[in-house]
Structure 1
Amino acid sequence: MSSPRSGNPSLAQRIARVLPALTPSHRQIADWVLAHPLHAATMPIDELAATVGVSVATANRFARALEFEGYAQFRAALVLGFETTLAPVEKLRSKLERSATVGEVCAGVLADIQQNIAATRQALDAQACERAVEAILRARRVYVVGFGASSWLAGLLQRGLDAYHENVHALPTVEGASFAAKVLARAQAADLLVAIAFPRYLADTVRLARLAHERGMTVLALTDRVTSPLAPLADVSLYADVDSHYFAASEASALPLIEALCSAVAHRAKGSVHAATQLAESVLPWLHDGERGNTRAGTQRAAPPARGQRTATRRATPRTISRTSK
């Protein structure tokens, strides 16, 4: 199946055109494929045949009935409409076809993350970084949005910026995108939206970025490439290489970009040392004893004596003074 955008018929159109000539078994396959196109696109021919309950030969004849050369071309046409969605599935399938120990998998993933970080650093746009930091520091309010796996990244960004900007708000909540939309409806042009989206890009994040853009807000995008749906909506974009063989994107590869941005804000912000000191003091009572052992030891050394000791001390003091005065 070629893409409908190229003027070629879609899968549904192909099936509709040949439907009267299809055998009962072929119709059975057609019904299942139309109901589960994404699932069918991931299946080799033997798996599809077993799932539908037909022979492999019947599945091959079904593909030829739709005017494909064979099942491989039929499946390739299905995949064509879901390139971004199916990319992680195909990469995972390829990985699983090669034997590897658990240790080799762990080492390989860490190596992939290291390569992603190196690629992100190499492609880093210094001017874009400057503009991003300036946009954060001059904004009246900073709103951070990201859904799915990016909701965790949004929370970490909010946490990292909070000490250096008095109005930073993470929009992902249990209410979902509707809450974020209500908040942005009250936002002003002096506010900033930081939108985070990596493959697979969630539509809610893109819609909210478009809403902020239309309201005249500055939009900062943290995403993976210039073809990301966030890029055309953003005033400035920072990109992270997040390739993964096992997942849609590597959040571990996106996190260094967020930490780097927060560090740059801390470096540029006025009073950052004072802010860091205040933060350290505020969390001190909540730290584990081992993390504040010197403070506790000092407090214990300076602690007042027990009740009986206080009485004895008070009684002894005048006598000592009296003897001294004599």
Structure 2
Amino acid sequence: MAPMTSTKVYDSDLMRKLRIQHAHLRPALKKVSTFLQANPYRSATLNIEELAAATGTSTAAVNRLANAIGFNGFTGLRFALMENLLAVVSSADVIEDRLKQSPDTGFHLDQQIDLSKHHLENVARMNDSQTFEDMARQLARSQNVFVVGLGNSFHIAQIAAAGLNPFCVGAHCVTLDGGMEGSAYRLSNITSNDALLAIALPAYTGETIRMAEFAQSRNACVMSITDCPASPLAELSHMSLFIPATHPVLPNSKVGLMAAVEALLAQLQLLKPTLSEAQPSLADWKPQRSSVRPTWPDLLRPSTPRKHDDSC
């Protein structure tokens, strides 16, 4: 696993042990570990039977995981989860429970706003400022930044690449038209002077992981924006930002993801003001008239006088 700067939520003794042991756990125990890392708040509210059911495992697997990471069975694990708890339950879980109890009420705008506020607060809780600043500096000093995002992260990757363009020598959204072959072709020239920014939410696409592995093999700096340390992208990344992605109705919420991308762009604006100052503003821009194509009225105007013109 690549070195990872710890974050507030994931800086507890429990979360560090899960992160270190995760890759070496047996499949059933890894399911429990993944759930605990992806749901640090909700996990503390579940008893052992509920945790086993939520992870598709057994109470024995939950106990074995607790022992494997140095806690005294589920009792010790539950105490550690309670210590790690920053909120009793997430807004997504509250809204989901209400929808289950009253499915006919529908999903309302005020619920989305409450959920968005909760996710934005958790973006700050789940990430420390040092990791955020280090990622922005790496983006600023990289010769080229390649952005990867597939599936439900595709459009965010395009926005990120477009936003990075004024601050980087080359900013490329790798995952455009052309499928995996086209994406691989665009990524083929990545070097140790470049960076890969990979964006992925559950369910993670295998192609994103493979492109991150390729960038790592070329000694490029791999960074990711994903949901939790159990994400397969986190293992491949030098630095990661974690964002809450749960939504009671949709497959994922992208509010936190968009906030993280926008914050990185704002930090880059402060880190590289000379780049933006070097670009002329629209008010000051004076095009060379000889190189400018005719405007639409010019194109529509006939080259010879018409009979009713004054010159005739």
Shared fold per TM-score greater than 0.5:
yes
Shift of 1:201: 1.1
2:137 alignment partner AA? E
Q: Counterparts in 2 of 1:150-169, with a 5 A limit?
A: 150-169=153-172
How many angstroms apart in 1 are the aligned matches of 2:214 and 2:134?
21
Corresponding residue of 2:140: 137
Contact 2:96 2:248 in 1 (8 A): no
Cα distance between partner residues in 1 of 2:154 and 2:192:
24
* Equivalent pair of 1:163/1:275 in contact (CA under 8 Å): no
Mapped pair 1:148 → 2:151: yes
**1:149-195 deviations in whole A, cap 9, x for unaligned?**
21101011111111111310001112122222222222211111100
Residue 321 of structure 1 corresponds to which residue in structure 2? Answer: none
Which structure has more relative contact order (CA 8 Å, sep 6+)? It is: 2
Match of 1:243 among 230, 236, 246: 246
- Return closer, same or farther for 1:175/1:217 CA change in 2, 3 Å cut-off: same
Shift of 1:97: 2.5
1:252 deviates by: 2.3
Name which of structure 1's ranges 239-248 and 215-224 shifts more when overlaid on structure 2.
Answer: 239-248
Distance 1:131 1:98, change over 3 A: same
After superposition, the Cα gap between the structure-2 partners of 1:139 and 1:245, relative to the gap in structure 1 and judged at 3 Å, is same
Instruction: Tell me the CA shift for residue 217 of structure 1.
Output: 0.7
Letter of the structure 2 residue corresponding to residue 231 of structure 1: A
Q: How far off its partner does 1:203 sit?
A: 1.2
Matched, 1:114 2:117: yes
Amino acid at match of 1:274: E
Aligned pair partner of 2:232 in 213, 229, 240: 229
Report how far residue 124 of structure 1 moved. 2.4
The 1:279/1:148 distance shift into structure 2, 3 A limit, reads farther
Higher relative helix content: 1
Asked if 1 retains the 8 angstrom alpha-carbon contact of 2:143 and 2:168, the reply is no
- Aligned partner (choices 185, 189, 208) of residue 186 of structure 1: 189
Q: Confirm or deny: 8 A CA contact 1:141 1:190 kept in the other structure.
A: yes
Q: Residues 252 and 101 from structure 1, CA distance in 2 versus in 1: closer, same or farther, beyond 3 angstroms?
A: farther
Distance 1:91 1:133, change over 3 A: same
The DSSP-based 3-state class of the residue aligned with 1:122 is: helix
Of 244-253 and 200-209, more deviation after overlay is shown by 244-253
8 Å CA contact 1:92, 1:246 repeated in 2 = no
Distance 1:112 1:177, change over 3 A: same
Contact 1:140 1:167 in 2 (8 A): yes
SS of aligned partner of 2:219: coil
How far has the Cα of 1:256 moved from its partner?
0.6
Identity %, equivalent residues: 25
How has the CA–CA distance of structure 1 residues 277 and 124 changed in structure 2, closer, same or farther, with 3 Å as cutoff?
Answer: farther
1:94 is displaced (CA, Å) by 5.4
Which residue in 1 is equivalent to 2:203? 200
CA distance in 2 between counterparts of 1:77 and 1:256 reads: 29
Instruction: Provide closer, same or farther for how the CA distance between residues 116 and 276 of structure 1 changes in structure 2, counting only shifts above 3 A.
Output: farther
Q: Distance in 1 between matches of 2:126 and 2:283?
A: 34
Question: Which is further off, 241-250 or 220-229?
Answer: 241-250
Q: Distance in 1 between matches of 2:56 and 2:205?
A: 20
Distance, in Å, in 2 between the alignment partners of 1:79 and 1:123 is 26
Letter in 2 for 1:162: N
Q: Which moved more, 1:241-250 or 1:137-146?
A: 241-250
Query: Higher mean Cα deviation, 139-148 or 96-105?
Result: 96-105
For the Cα contact (< 8 Å) 2:167–2:276, is it kept in 1? no
Say which of 268, 272, 278 aligns to 1:269: 272
Judged with a 3 Å threshold, the aligned counterparts in structure 2 of structure 1 residues 281 and 192 are, in CA distance, closer, same or farther, namely farther
Aligned length: 207
Give the whole-Å Cα distance in 1 for the aligned partners of 2:104 and 2:198: 38
Question: For each residue in 1:188-220, what CA deviation from the matched residue of structure 2 results, as whole angstroms up to 9, or x when unmatched?
Answer: 111111000011211111111111111111011
2:217 and 2:282 map into 1 onto residues whose CA distance is: 36
Alignment of 1:10-89 (within 5 A): 79=56
Change in 2 beyond 3 A, CA 1:263/1:5: closer
* Deviation of 1:113 (Å): 1.2
Residue 204 of structure 2 aligns with an amino acid whose one-letter code is: Y
Contact persistence 2:140–2:272 (CA under 8 A): yes
